Each structure stands twice: as C-alpha cells, then as structure tokens.
Amino acid sequence: MNTLKRAILFFLYILPLITHGQDSVKTHYNLEECIALALKNNAEAQKSANSSQAASLDLKQAKAALLPTLSGSFDHNINTGFSTDPITNAIVSENITSGNQRLNTNMVLFNGLNLLRTIRQQAFAYKATQMDEQRIKDNLTMDVILAYLQVITAKDALEQYKQQRDVTKKQLERLAILNRDGAVAPGEYYDVKGQFSGDQITVLTGENTLRTNVIVLTRLLNIPYSQALSFEPINQLPDVSSASLSQEALYERAAASLGTLKAAQFWKESAEYQLKATRSLYFPTLSLGANLTSRYSNADENRGTYMDQIQDNLGKGAGLTLSIPILDGFRRRINVSRAKLELRNAEIDLENTENNLQQQTAQVLINLQTAKEKYLEIREQVEAYKESFRVAEVRFEAGDINSVEFLLQKTKYDQANISLVVAQYEWQLRQRIANYYNGQR
C-alpha cells in the first residue's frame, strides 16, 4: 500500500513537469524567428563560425612566433660497476648517481621580415574567413526567406483550393436535387461532379505541397518536422509607390554590406602577403641564443648537497647564429611560384566576384520590377474574372448557360486567384531580396 501511495505521489509530482515540457515546445514561428533559428542551428553556419575561430588561432600563432623560445631538460642516471666519472672522466668501479640540467632560449632577430609578413597574411585570412562566415549567413538568410514564403504561398494557395472546391460543392448539391427531380440534363450534373473530384485532387495536391515546403524549411532551421508547426502569414505588401533603386547605388550598398565581395578582397590581400612572406625566405636568418647548464654527481669528492652542486657547476652561454640559404633543391623558388599562382587565383576570384555582384544587383532590380508589375496586372485580372464568374453563376443557376460555359468561367477565376497568391508572395520575396542587397536586415 505504501508503494502504491509513493507511486501516485511521484506521478502527481512529475506530471506538471512533463506537461510544462510539452507546452514549452515552440510550434508557431514568424519570419524573423525562423531566420534567427537557422543562423543558430544550421550546420553550415556553425561550421563557418568554427572556421573563423580556427583562422583566429592561426593569427595568434603567427604573432606568438615573434616571442623567444624557451626549453628546459633534466636527466638523472644511475651507473653500477665500471663507469666513467662525469666529473673527472676517470674509469671508476663504484655506483654513481649523476644528472644534467639545461635551459635554452632562442630568438629570431631577422629573417627577411618573414614573421611580420606572415602575421599580415594571417590577419587578412582571418578577416576573409569572417566575411565568408557572413556570406554563408547571408545566403542562409535568403534561403530561409524563400522557403518561408513558399510555405506561406502554399498555405494561402491551399485555402484558395478549398474555397474553389466549396463553390463547386455548392453547385453540385443544387444540381443533385435538380437531377433527382429530372429538372436538369444529367450531363450538367456529371460535369460539375467531375469538376468537384478534380477540385478534391487539387486540394490533396496542395496539402502535399504545403507539407513538403514545411519540411524544406525545417531542414534549414535544423528542427524536427511536425504537423503541428505553423507559420505566421505576411499580410503587408510592399509599397506600390516606393521609389525605385538605381542599379549603381544597389551595387555599392551590396558591396559594403554583404560579405561576398569583402571576402574576395581580403583573400587577395592575404595572398599578396603570402607571396611576400615566401620571398623573404631567400634572406639569411639571424638568431640570438642563450643557455644555462649544470650537473650533479655523487662521485664528486667535494660534493655538497644537490643544490650546492647545481650552483657550483653552473654554466652560462650566449651566441648569434646566422643561417644562409644556399641550395635547398629549389624549394624556395618553387614555393614562390606557387604563391604567385595563388595570388593570381585570388585576383581572378575578386574580379569574378565583382562582376557577379554587379550582375546580381541588376537582376534583383529587374526581378523586383517584373514581380511588381505582374502582381498589379493579375490583381486587375482577378477583379475582372470575379465579376465575370458572378454573372456566369447567376446565369447558370437560372439555366441560361450550360455547365461547360459555367466551368470555363470558374476555371478562369480560380486560376487567376491562385496566380494572384503566387504573384503576391513573389513580389514579397523580390522586395526582401532587394532590401537585403540594400543593406536592410
């Protein structure tokens, strides 16, 4: 009985926690939330951030190469039988315990400015990876906007499909009564019945399209797909009277705000310093070295304590080392040639990026203007077909036209409504893309 009571109390305690956990799962998102979630969760975005951190570490390592090196070593030996006295170098027959201590430091004084140029190379590479990270996030943002609008488009189109089906259903129910009473030709009834089946199929197809588009969006957000997911509609259309952007101004703002062109510029500058750093290896390297040594042995007749011997046997040294490259199998010359090729590739990438960005901004404005004009034309078409269908519906119910003429007018009106939904969100998409290139986040 006590066990049952404890189980009930445990259940009553854990149930609110389970319910709270279920309630905390977010299922409704707006566009801004989707963009933020994608930037946080998307695997490619996370990898780009890791690449930036790795480039930061490379820069730190290049700067640390200016610091002197410092190393120490310690050995301890035990010899039995005949061995060499480490103090007198005489052959003795006794157990000897000995050890050596060393401390070395080295610092490069000059190496043709290789270290400084390497730092500059890594600094520009770090900036380039940061811009690459921004470019990836920019592209991801645009992908999320496109996927989100496709979801909203599919959702609104599905509502249109259902409304069209309901209109057909209403006429089918009316004709079913008339057909049962023999007050209408059977062909009229079966034409509308066939149309109703087609509308049902269209609704099913629309539902599948909506689910597919939601899956595409969740893949970008890196969250599990669920039928409970819902997305906030975008009801506000762009301003019809908004001033048009010039292609030159849009290009300049895109170059300043997007990471694409900046990354190419930084990679080119990094390649320039890589070439300079590689050429500097032709110069001699001058370095300063110093060392501190000592030793210990129990065979020393005047030995004191361990620390006494360390102090008594202390040795110091310092010196300069000049290393002159003479022949190394043409490695330096080949590395310089490779660096020249990498610089040329970076220059080609920069030129190509500039041209692509100029073409993209021009295409963005063309697509925006076309989408705007298309929406306005389709909106007028919908108004015209709406009135035409209203008249056809009245005449069909009055028996003035047959089912073929009625369904023809209905099809025109239905297709115009769907086209209006698609055109509306295409205009939204093109406007948001233009805003993004214009530096508006």
Give Cα 222 distance to the centre of its chain: 12
Lowest mean pLDDT among 66-75, 91-100, 417-426: 91-100
Rounded distance between C-alpha atoms, residue 254 and residue 135, angstroms: 11
Evaluate whether residue 219 is within a structural domain.
yes
Q: Tell whether the model's pLDDT for residue 264 goes beyond 50.
A: yes
Question: To the nearest whole number, what is the mean pLDDT of the chain?
Answer: 87
Same domain for 140 and 160, yes or no, is yes
Asked if 37 and 29 count as a contact pair (C-beta separation under 8 A), the reply is yes
Question: Among 91, 70, 68, 67, which residue's Cα sits nearest to residue 81?
Answer: 91
Rounded distance between C-alpha atoms, residue 334 and residue 157, angstroms: 62
Backbone phi, then psi, for 314, in 5-degree steps?
Answer: -70, 130
pLDDT confidence tier of residue 440, bands split at 50, 70 and 90: confident
- Which domain-ending residue is among 303, 324, 345? 324
Evaluate whether residue 240 is within a structural domain.
yes
Lowest mean pLDDT among 12-16, 88-92, 134-138, 259-263: 12-16
Q: Tell whether the model's pLDDT for residue 408 goes beyond 80.
A: yes
- Which domain-ending residue is among 272, 300, 324? 324
Same domain for 316 and 291, yes or no, is yes
Which residues on neighbouring strands pair with residue 288, listed in sequence order? 107, 320
Where are the extended beta strands (E) located within 45-156?
69-79, 82-84, 91-93, 96-110
Same domain for 198 and 254, yes or no, is yes
Predicted confidence at residue 240, as pLDDT, reads 66
The mean per-residue pLDDT over the stretch 415-430 comes to: 89
Q: Tell whether the model's pLDDT for residue 185 goes beyond 60.
A: yes
Q: Tell whether the model's pLDDT for residue 22 goes beyond 50.
A: no
Same domain for 352 and 255, yes or no, is yes
In tens, the pLDDT along 329-385 reads 788 899 999 999 999 999 999 999 999 999 999 999 999 999 999 999 999 999 999
pLDDT confidence tier of residue 16, bands split at 50, 70 and 90: very low
Domains in the chain, number: 2
Question: Among 101, 139, 185, which residue's Cα sits nearest to residue 404?
Answer: 185
Same domain for 383 and 429, yes or no, is yes
Rounded distance between C-alpha atoms, residue 280 and residue 287, angstroms: 15
Evaluate whether residue 25 is within a structural domain.
yes
Same domain for 266 and 412, yes or no, is yes
Torsion of the alpha carbons at 412, 418, 421 and 422, rounded to the nearest 10: -110
Predicted confidence at residue 304, as pLDDT, reads 73
Give Cα 191 distance to the centre of its chain: 52
In tens, the pLDDT along 213-257 reads 999 999 999 999 999 999 998 877 777 666 677 889 999 999 988
Evaluate whether residue 420 is within a structural domain.
yes
Q: What is the pTM of this model?
A: 0.78
Evaluate whether residue 50 is within a structural domain.
no
Domain that holds residue 295: 67-110+284-324
| % of the chain surpassing 90 pLDDT | 53
Same domain for 223 and 234, yes or no, is yes
CA distances from 340 to 129, 312, 333, 354 (A): 21, 56, 11, 21
Same domain for 371 and 405, yes or no, is yes
DSSP 171-189: HHHHHHHHHHTT-S-HHHH
CA distance between the termini of the chain: 63
Q: Tell whether the model's pLDDT for residue 60 goes beyond 80.
A: yes
Lowest mean pLDDT among 21-35, 80-94, 240-254, 263-277: 80-94
C-alpha atoms less than 13 angstroms from C-alpha of 128 in its C-beta half-sphere: 20
CA distances from 379 to 22, 370, 376, 405, 423 (A): 43, 14, 5, 23, 9
DSSP 248-303: HHHHHHHHHHSHHHHHHHHHHHHHHHHHHHHHGGGS-EEEEEEEEEEEEETT-TT-
Residues 267-295, buried b or exposed e (16+ Cβ, 10 A)? bbbbbbbbbbbbbbbeeebebeeeeeebb
Evaluate whether residue 292 is within a structural domain.
yes
Same domain for 25 and 166, yes or no, is yes
The secondary element (H helix, E strand) that includes residue 140 is helix 114-180
Evaluate whether residue 62 is within a structural domain.
no
CATH code at position 118 = 1.20.1600.10
Q: Tell whether the model's pLDDT for residue 125 goes beyond 60.
A: yes
Same domain for 149 and 163, yes or no, is yes
In tens, the pLDDT along 24-47 reads 568 899 999 999 999 999 988 999
CA distances from 110 to 115, 116, 117, 216, 269 (A): 9, 10, 12, 57, 23
Same domain for 309 and 175, yes or no, is no
Same domain for 277 and 306, yes or no, is no
Evaluate whether residue 332 is within a structural domain.
yes
Give Cα 282 distance to the centre of its chain: 41
Which residues on neighbouring strands pair with residue 76, listed in sequence order? 99
CATH code at position 309 = 2.20.200
- Which domain-ending residue is among 324, 356, 378? 324
pLDDT confidence tier of residue 91, bands split at 50, 70 and 90: confident
